[in-house]
């Protein structure tokens, strides 16, 4: 059974700080990694994806992937109250050709004004 | 372009009943995936349909089934409802199936099912 683990939080950071969200996965064959943001009562929306080891930056968001350690993280710089949401890590294991994503249970982030 | 739509948005059923949920994908999208979201288990994949064929299936009992129509709209059915089936059911659409464009998958608003 493939597992994706996240700290459920809540994680609280002051406005303007860096929020660091972490995710570990059990399947070494995993190749694609996604971060979704889900506001309360809303559906998930994709904010970042990463396939290669290292960092990928998009605006205030940076995804970091370390396949050797089976670890993916999301950094949010200059955190804003509007970033308060649950962040879901999702992993796609490519080798079998299966098209489904495995999600963690999410980390709830609160940005304090 | 309209997003993914799901109906109904809220549903209350009792144990033993069956339920059918509907999902209309983004225009032009032919892949529809269904997910169940609960506080304890998080988001779990149910199945994916593409061109009216089930392409992939998650680890759920046979009470959960689905289908897709020629216009790409999809329905999922849960028979003999149990209390544990209470969840948010999300569908997601993308233009193609396969490994390449999971980053282009968009979720609908979900159907909140409560089983009493």
Give A13-49 pLDDT, tens digit per residue: 999 999 999 999 998 888 889 999 999 989 999 999 9
State the Cα–Cα distance between residues A48 and B12, nearest whole angstrom: 35
pLDDT above 70 covers a percentage of chain A that reads 92
Helix (H, G, I), strand (E, B) or coil at A101: strand
Grade residue A95 by pLDDT with cuts at 50, 70 and 90.
low
* pLDDT tens readout for residues B19-75: 999 999 999 999 999 999 998 888 999 999 999 999 888 889 999 999 999 999 999
Is the pLDDT at A75 greater than 80? The verdict is yes
Q: Inspect the interface and report whether the beta carbons of B107 and A45 lie closer than 8 Å.
A: yes
Query: Do the bridges between strand B19-24 and strand B74-78 make them parallel or antiparallel, or are there none, so unpaired?
Result: antiparallel
Closest CA to B32 of B21, B42, B18: B21
Query: pLDDT value at position A101?
Result: 84
In the predicted model, what is the mean pLDDT of chain A? 91
Q: For residues A71-94, give the mean pLDDT.
A: 93
> Residue A28 is encoded by which pair of tokens?
């070494």
**For B97, which of A42, A99, A105 is closest by C-beta distance?**
A99
Interval A69-86 mean pLDDT: 96
Would an 8 Å CB–CB cutoff place B44 in contact with chain A? yes
Note which residues in 53-112 of chain A have CB less than 8 A from chain B. Answer: 88, 90, 92, 94, 97-106
Asked if the C-beta of A34 comes within 8 angstroms of chain B's C-beta atoms, the answer is yes
Please state, in angstroms and rounded to a whole number, the distance separating the CA atoms of residues A18 and A1. 33
Alpha carbon B107 to its chain centroid, in Å, reads 10
């Amino acid at each position: 059974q493939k597992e994706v683990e996240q700290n459920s939080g809540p994680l609280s950071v002051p406005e303007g700080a860096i929020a660091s969200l972490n995710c570990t996965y059990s399947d070494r064959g995993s190749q694609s990694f996604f971060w979704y943001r889900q506001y309360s009562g809303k559906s998930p929306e994709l904010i970042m994806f990463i396939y290669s080891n290292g960092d990928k930056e998009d605006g205030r968001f940076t995804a970091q992937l370390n396949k050797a350690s089976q670890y993916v993280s999301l950094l949010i710089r200059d955190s804003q109250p509007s970033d308060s949401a649950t962040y879901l890590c999702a992993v796609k294991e490519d080798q079998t050709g299966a098209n489904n994503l495995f999600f963690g249970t999410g980390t709830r982030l609160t940005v304090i004004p | 372009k309209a997003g993914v739509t799901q109906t109904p948005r809220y549903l209350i059923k009792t144990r033993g009943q069956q339920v059918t949920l509907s999902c209309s994908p983004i225009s032009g999208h032919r892949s529809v995936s269904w997910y169940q979201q609960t506080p304890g288990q998080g988001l779990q994949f149910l199945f994916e349909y593409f061109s009216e064929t089930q392409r992939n299936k998650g680890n759920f009992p046979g009470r959960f089934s689905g289908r897709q129509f020629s216009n790409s709209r999809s329905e999922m059915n849960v028979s003999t409802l149990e209390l544990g089936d209470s969840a948010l059911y999300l569908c997601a659409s993308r233009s193609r199936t396969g490994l390449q464009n999971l980053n282009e998958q968009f979720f609908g608003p979900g159907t909140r099912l409560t089983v009493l």
